[in-house]
């Protein structure tokens, strides 16, 4: 149940924008017109009340504004005649179809992943340019240019407002964009905070929307389950001062049971339907973690087996790195270090802070204090996330204290 005008407008944004683009084209100008209609609604509806047909009201206001904007921009008579002669592009379709088409349009292959994310947040998520810029810690002017270039690229590509012929292939890009939006919110790659809750919530909202639109797609269900099961741990991931708390040390009573139940139910119902894809497997791994009563009771052999199936489906160095950790937990640090040697020269991950952090963790497990300190220091030097830097420096300090204890020096604080 939509409870506020703001919630209602956010839910209607992709429907209204989809309707305008489908009818008239001109993605860039249509998006501006919709934003002005949303602003008018935000000002009028709290005073006058929500109209009986809020979607129709927004489409009508946005259509009028679109015509005004186009006429202003098109000074020559020839272009004005084109505006007057415009006809809808194709037969009318449902609101859900409009939203789905808009998602595919935002993930057009002509766009870079960064532009796909920005355009999706703007057009489907309903976020303002300023909000998106803040989420990715770039100036608003920079984000404005990125979104403008993205909309221009889509229009220049000649894309029509209809489901693309390569929609099965492009669905993978749509899922990846939603996952990246969530992941940037769950573990921020830069800045002072470990998490950006509003961005993670937007990723989940988009995943829920996709699941409503494509209820029979197993990978869509798998993605939603993965995000829910991952987000369930959010309250326990940071300490009172925003410091990072690794999963093994988290207070699991703080995990969100409603999200765990929903995610487990979803992946349990989805897996038997097949075929099994990467998001379903990652959700199954997350479910094993979330259903474990403690870190010590985690079924690491099952997680190893799931990662080995996942590695057969995807050439992803981060999956390989997570597999290393699982093997180390199931079979001991030496087994993990042996596997790590096989992937550490992969150019896609060779300079990633997570590779060095895992090496430090495994060396610490094996008792190599000096090697672990060196690896943690290298990881801290490579991450741009302040909470992760602080966590890694704490690991170094703790190990320095251990070394001092063993050599007869002063004890740790």
Quick one: tokens of 93?
């379709």
- SS3 call for 244: strand
Residuewise pLDDT in 10s, the chain (413 residues)? 345 888 888 888 888 888 888 888 778 788 888 888 988 998 899 888 899 899 999 999 999 888 877 776 654 444 334 333 333 344 334 445 677 788 888 888 888 888 888 888 888 877 788 878 876 767 889 989 999 998 888 888 887 777 777 777 778 888 988 898 898 888 887 778 888 888 898 889 889 988 988 899 999 999 999 999 999 999 999 999 889 999 999 999 999 999 999 999 999 999 988 789 999 999 999 999 999 999 999 999 999 999 999 999 999 899 999 999 999 999 999 999 999 999 999 998 999 999 999 999 999 999 999 999 999 999 999 998 899 999 999 999 999 876 545 444 433 33
Cβ of 321: how many Cβ atoms within 10 Å? Answer: 22
Q: What are the C-alpha distances in Å from 362 to residues 328, 371, 401?
A: 7, 10, 18
- Distance, in Å, from the CA atom of 122 to the CA atom of 38, rounded to the nearest integer, reads 13
Do residues 280 and 271 make contact, with C-beta atoms less than 8 angstroms apart? Answer: yes
Per-residue pLDDT at 74: 58
- SS3 call for 385: strand
State the pTM of this model. Answer: 0.75
- SS3 call for 190: strand
- Distance, in Å, from the CA atom of 11 to the CA atom of 116, rounded to the nearest integer, reads 20
Do residues 142 and 133 make contact, with C-beta atoms less than 8 angstroms apart? Answer: yes
β-bridge mates for residue 244, sequence order: 238
Do residues 372 and 399 make contact, with C-beta atoms less than 8 angstroms apart? Answer: yes
- SS3 call for 217: coil
Tokens 């093994």 label which residue?
Answer: 248
């Amino acid at each position: 149940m939509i409870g506020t005008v703001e919630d209602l407008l956010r839910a209607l944004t992709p429907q209204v924008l989809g309707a305008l683009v489908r009818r008239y084209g001109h993605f860039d100008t249509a998006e501006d017109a919709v934003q002005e209609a949303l602003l008018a609604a935000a000002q009028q509806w709290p005073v006058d009340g929500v109209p009986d047909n809020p979607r129709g009201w927004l489409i009508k206001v946005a259509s009028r504004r679109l015509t005004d904007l186009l006429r202003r921009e098109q000074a020559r008579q020839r272009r004005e005649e084109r505006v007057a002669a415009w006809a809808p592009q194709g037969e009318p379709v449902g609101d859900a179809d409009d939203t789905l088409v808009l998602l595919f349009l935002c993930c057009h292959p002509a766009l870079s992943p960064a532009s796909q994310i920005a355009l999706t947040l703007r057009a489907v998520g309903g976020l303002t340019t300023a909000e998106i810029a803040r989420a990715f810690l770039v100036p608003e002017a920079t984000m404005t240019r990125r979104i403008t270039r993205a909309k221009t690229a889509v229009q220049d590509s000649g894309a029509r407002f209809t489901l693309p012929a390569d929609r099965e292939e492009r669905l993978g890009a749509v899922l990846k964009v939603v996952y990246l939006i969530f992941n940037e919110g769950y573990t921020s790659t830069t800045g002072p905070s470990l998490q950006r809750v509003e961005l993670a919530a937007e990723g989940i909202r988009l995943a829920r929307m996709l699941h409503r639109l494509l209820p029979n797609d197993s990978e869509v269900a798998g993605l939603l389950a993965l995000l829910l099961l991952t987000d369930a741990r959010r309250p326990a991931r940071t300490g009172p001062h925003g410091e990072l708390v690794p999963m093994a040390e988290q207070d699991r009573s703080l995990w969100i049971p409603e999200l765990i139940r929903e995610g487990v139910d979803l992946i349990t119902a989805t897996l038997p339907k097949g075929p099994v894809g990467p998001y379903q497997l990652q959700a199954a791994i997350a479910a094993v973690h979330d259903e474990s009563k403690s870190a010590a009771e985690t079924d690491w052999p099952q997680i190893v087996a799931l990662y080995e199936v996942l590695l057969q489906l995807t050439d992803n160095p981060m999956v390989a790195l997570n597999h290393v950790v699982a093997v180390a937990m199931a079979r001991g640090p030496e087994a993990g270090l042996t596997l790590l040697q096989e992937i550490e020269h992969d150019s896609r991950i060779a300079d990633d802070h997570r590779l060095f952090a895992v090496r430090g963790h495994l060396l610490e497990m094996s008792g190599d204090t000096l090697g672990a300190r060196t690896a943690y220091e290298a990881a801290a030097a490579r991450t741009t996330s302040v909470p992760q830097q602080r966590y890694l420096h704490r690991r170094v300090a703790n190990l320095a204290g251990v070394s001092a204890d063993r050599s007869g020096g002063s004890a740790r604080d």
